[in-house]
Structures are given as C-alpha cells and as structure tokens.
Homo-oligomer: A and B are copies of this chain.
C-alpha cells in the first residue's frame, strides 16, 4: 500500500512552501513560470491528485447534489435521474442518490444524511406517504436548497418543477369530442392523491366546456393495482349506457382496461377509445395501444429541476439575496397520439 502523495510531499521535495505548490497547481499568476513547471513536473511524477475531501472541508462546498426518488427501478424516475445526472455532470457536479421506497422514515433518514454531508442542494420527488415536512424546514436553516419535482409537498414557499396535467386532459377531451364522443368515462387513481384530484377537476372542466353534464357513473377509481384496475373497468362495461371513450389514470391502468375489453371481444379504439397518461415506452411494444397517451416528460422535469437548483446555487454565490425568490416550473403535459402505431 503506497501512500498517497500530498501537496506537502511535493513541497518538501522541492524545498518550497506548500502554499507555493498549491498556487502553482492552480496556475495562480503570481507564481513564476519556472516554479510552476517544476511543481507540475514533480506532481505528475508522484501521480499527485488533490484530496477532494480536504477541499470540501475547507471550502464548505461539496460540489455535490442529492437526488431522492421513491424507486429508481421505475422508468419514470430513472429517466429523470438520467437527465439530472447529465445536467449536473456538465456543471462538474456530482450526484448522490437515495430511494425512499415510499417509506417516509427512510426518506427522512436519507435527507438527514444528505444534510450532514453538507450537500450543495437536493432534488426530490417525495414518497406518496410523506406528510411531515419538518425536515425540509431544517434543510432551509442549513441553507441547503431543495427543489421538488413531480411529487411535491403541500407547502408554501418551495421551489419545484412539475407537469401540469390539466392541459393534457383538456386536449384529450377536445380530441375525443371532436371525434364525436359524448360519453367519456374516467378511471381515476385513489382520491387521496393530488394527481387524482387534478385529473378529475380537469375532466369536469373539459366536459363543462362542451356543456356536457358530468355523469358520476362514468367516474370510477382504482388504487392502481391490477385487480382494482380491472374491477373499475368492469364497472364501466356493466353500465347500461357504456362510455364510448375512456380516459385512464395512467398507462398501466389502460393496459389492464384494454386487456379486459378484449376479453369482452370488443376492440380498443374501435368500440371504445382510450386515452391514458404517462406515455410510457410500453406502447411501442404493444399490439393494442390506446389512441393516445398524455406525456409527462420525466426527463424534462428532472432537467428543469436541476436548472432551478443550479440557478439557486449560482445566485447564492453572487449575492445574499434579501428577498427570497421561489422558482416554479410548470410545463404542460401534452397528448401524444398513438394511432399510427396501433394495429387495431
């Protein structure tokens, strides 16, 4: 085990002071050319490499951001992570990760670890069970900026990057109405999710625009398990007046619904048209895709969150801002048609 060369070591060999070596290594203009060259020579001979932990310690900056999501094996989040990593690495920043697995305790532990590590900033999509926001207040005191994305807490004064689901829902309804549908069903998610409320509100608003009364029979919910997805679909199919189109909470719900539809020997997008949310890559592998899916741009959301975070970090350097500004990025979801792709 060879020992790792330090600035001191170089200084000793050259019989100069450590500070001279440090400055030479940084190309400081006040150091003479000869000295600089001699230092660089010895440094490369010894394979010197600076000890980043010492620099972090001294500078109180870690050049590291943290990313916390519920689960990296979920395509939505891993795609966001991929975008964040790419952005951060271009800024020469490093990325620390943690996954909450939807467990608020684990989430809290991760946040605390990141705090003690003095990370320069955190990007987080919170667990769906998180209700205690105290940690985030503490983070503020430690001056560690937090940017939320996709899943944001019900707090005032936060930075976030989210996707507005309303726009996609309204587009979907416009499109369905244009195709002559008047009876549009909704398979929504669990009511406690903010995302469910958002979809429902936009659904009602969309129908209202065309003076279509909301028929509560056409609105069913699921906890997003396959069993309940199927059950919800069955309820819609059992109606005397079946909907001619159905909007589902997400692509997985749509998949289960379409599967059931086929068991009834009905053709998706022919007998009943489908529009779902997420636009996940699964449809490119499927024979029966919904007519359209509403894209939520996970990677874009992640990158936007990173942009916000770095803006905060940059601003902090230039001035201690007296009036805090909270950055919000809300971009529109957008309906993506799958019609050319399906073979129904």
Contact = CB atoms under 8 A, between A and B. Distances in A.
Interface stretch (A81-89, A175-183, A199-207, A304-312): A81-89
Contacts of A299: 73
Interface string A45-85: 00101111110110010101000000111010011011001
B75 A89 contact: no
A52 B143 CA distance: 16
B141 A47 contact: yes
Contact of A73 (B53, B54, B78): B78
Contacts of A72: 72, 78-79, 81-82, 85
A97 interface: yes
Contact of A53 (B1, B2, B57, B86): B57
B99 A53 contact: no
Interface string A88-125: 01000011111101000010001001011110000000
A19 B118 CA distance: 22
How many copies altogether?
2
A53 B62 contact: yes
A86 B57 CA distance: 28
B94 A117 contact: yes
A51 B118 contact: yes
A285 interface: yes
A138 interface: yes
Given A47-B138, A54-B57, A95-B97, A71 B62 contact: no
Which of A78, A95, A115 has the largest number of chain B CB atoms within 10 A? A78
The 9 closest A-B pairs by CB, nearest first: A78-B78, A73-B82, A287-B287, A57-B57, A282-B285, A52-B116, A73-B79, A72-B82, A53-B57
Given A2-B141, A52-B117, A78-B78, 11 more contacts: A4-B142, A47-B138, A53-B62, A53-B118, A71-B82, A72-B72, A72-B79, A82-B99, A85-B98, A86-B101, A94-B117
25 contacts: A4-B142, A47-B138, A47-B141, A49-B115, A49-B116, A52-B117, A53-B53, A53-B57, A53-B117, A53-B118, A56-B56, A57-B57, A64-B96, A71-B82, A73-B78, A82-B99, A94-B96, A94-B113, A94-B117, A95-B96, A95-B97, A282-B282, A282-B285, A286-B286, A287-B288
